[in-house]
Chain A
Amino acid sequence: MKSLYFILFFAAISLAAESCRDDDDTCSTCPNNDVIAGEYNPQPYVLNVPAWMPPVPNPSDNLLTVDGIALGRMLFYDPILSSDSTLSCASCHKQERAFTDGLAVSTGVLGIPGKRSAMSLANLAYNTRGFFWDGRTGTLETQALLPVEDHIEMNENWDNVLQKFRNHPIYPAQFRKAFGIELKSQITKELAAKALAQFQRTLISGNSRYDQVIWGQQGWLTDQEQRGLELFFIEFAGDVQHPGCSHCHFNPLFTDNNFRQNGLENVPDLLSFPDPGRGAVSGITNDNGKFRVPTLRNIELTAPYMHDGRFATLEEVLDHYATGGHGVSNEDPNILAFPIDAQQKQDLIAFLKTLTDQSFLTNPDFSNPF
């Protein structure tokens, strides 16, 4: 009878302990249980954005801190995340190109070309509808986990990366400063992803010449840029159809982050898209051929365009949209043919170039810390 009481007693205590346990991913089997020396004194980071940009979401389970962002920035620029230490996040997301790489599709460590173009990282903090072109992850934290183990990207595995962190002369202390861990074995991929997410949340672009003129009331657009603005934002001039860009690319982010089938493919049916995009994630046939609407901020620098980089220039992009798509059944109804002459094309492109944000492209806080 006594032993039954003992069993019940320990079962109850275990139940209580389990219910109070935090969901951490501490690596108890990892050999490196060295204590990390150094301070943990987290300083909240206040992200100042222009008044015309939305407040930046700051998830309560990964609040921005000075040291968290600093660690994220190091990880972003460090090729330690790739299997042969040749590729970092910044290899495909270069600041001077608004964090794209200028390639139709990026190439991973094995030299294998990927299937999609590197997206700009500007203003990802505001996206609540899913990351990558197909929205396959819901948060920046989960997004940051995937490229490391993707064979056509970094082709590494997280266990190796964690060992590299734990044996690194600097990173254990950086993880401690950012997250307060005490042992090297407590460095996890989730903490690395949190740091990367924190850094990426700071990549706010909202200080282009367009912003300065329209919201900051500083200076004027040229006549040509103003004509382009009207083509961009106003759907009709009398009975003449305008491009209607702002249906999907509206203020202040110049994207709605939704998934749309923008009429690129002339396919006989919904199962014939060369890249099903969103449909491969959702499993919904009518999502095939849909991709996330990218921001047009800094669009001048993010060529080539579309998810597969098929268009080298903005002129080609406008030529595509002017045709009004191909009439595939799930094509977005806002994709409508419109007349546009050479002058209007240049006007529209001149306007698009006002969305280039030099302060974003040269902000030292976003640059390589090494």
Chain B
Amino acid sequence: MMKKIFFLAASFALLLAATCKEDDDFAKEVVDMNFKSTFGDAPLVMYESAYPYEAGMSVKLQLFQFYLSNISVQREDGSLVLQKDIALINFKDILTPSAATEGISLNMEGLAPGHYKAIRMGIGVAPNLNSTNPANYTPPHPLDDNYWSAATGYVFIKIEGNADTTGNGQFPAKLTFHTGANELYKEKTFDKHFELKKGQTLQLKFSVDLKKVLSKGPGDFLDFRQITQDHSNNPEVYTFIADNLYNALVLE
């Protein structure tokens, strides 16, 4: 009799305990979009690392960030599943090589198990969102920052740091390149066949080489002896940066 009472009571107690726990036993499908940045072949680390640039110059970075809009996954039948309307990919807190190796994760949950063939996203802030301002968002939100009052829109891409333009190991030149305008917004499709299985976390590895954002190679680069900043004043500069980022962002 005592045995029965115990088992009944213990079962009841364990049931009670289970109902009070978070419902974490049922794994959901997750697509982990992982973003890593490099400068050439070296992992991009803020502040401390000096990177060889063009024409004998070197650079150190303090900030590299950009917005992605309408991040969608494409099914095999071609239809798109919108996962996030906006995200800010920000490397400012990458302060060590190990953090650079780890990268930045952007998790997408709720995608149904199945076969997919591509990822599609806009680089920058989509025009419908770029017409909003931080007053439209309850913080924290990706669009509660980087607002450009003068342009009534968002800064899509920020690159900030310092340059050694003489090769003497000093970095006195301050670099601030802030790019953003509706005409710079472009959507890009990354072809990638994958199957998301039930309960699986699947990682998609994106990388972006910042050097390729600043330079197309010898003879075609942002020369920090001539220009150290742009706030979407000079079309040659801001379209150069936006076009280069479009090409430099790749899915491995």
Contacts and interface: CB of A to CB of B under 8 A. Distances in A.
Q: How large is the interface on A (under 10, 10 to 19, 20 to 34, 35 or more residues)?
A: 35 or more
Contact of B17 (A16, A235, A335, A336): A16
Contact of A5 (B3, B21, B145): B3
Interface string B210-250: 00000000000000000001010100000000000000000
A241 to B, nearest CB: 9
B98 interface: no
Contact of B16 (A2, A5, A16, A332): A16
Contact of A330 (B62, B133, B137, B144): B62
A55 interface: yes
Contacts of B139: 54, 57, 126-128
A124 to B, nearest CB: 11
Contact of A9 (B6, B150, B175): B6
Contacts of B133: 251-252
B189 interface: no
A251 B149 contact: yes
A334 B155 CA distance: 14
Contact of B162 (A52, A333, A334): A333
Given A251-B133, A335-B174, A19 B149 contact: no
Interface string A117-138: 0000000001110000000000
Contacts of A330: 47, 62
Nearest to A236: B233
Contacts, number: 112
Contacts of A253: 134
Interface string A13-24: 101100110000
Nearest to B229: A336
Interface string B143-173: 0110111100000000011100000000110
A55 B134 contact: no
Contacts of A126: 139, 144
Secondary structure at the A interface, as helix, strand, loop or mixed, is loop
Contacts of A329: 47, 60, 162, 171
B150 A233 contact: yes
Contacts of B176: 247, 333-334, 336
Given A5-B6, A235-B233, A250 B149 contact: yes
B9 A9 contact: yes
Contacts of A2: 2
B95 A20 contact: no
B112 interface: no
Contact of A236 (B136, B140, B174, B231): B231
Interface of A: 2, 5, 8-9, 12-13, 15-16, 19-20, 51-57, 126-128, 233-236, 246-247, 250-253, 256, 258, 284, 286, 327, 329-336
In the A-B complex, the 6 residue pairs with the closest CB atoms:
A16-B13, A333-B174, A12-B13, A128-B140, A19-B17, A233-B150
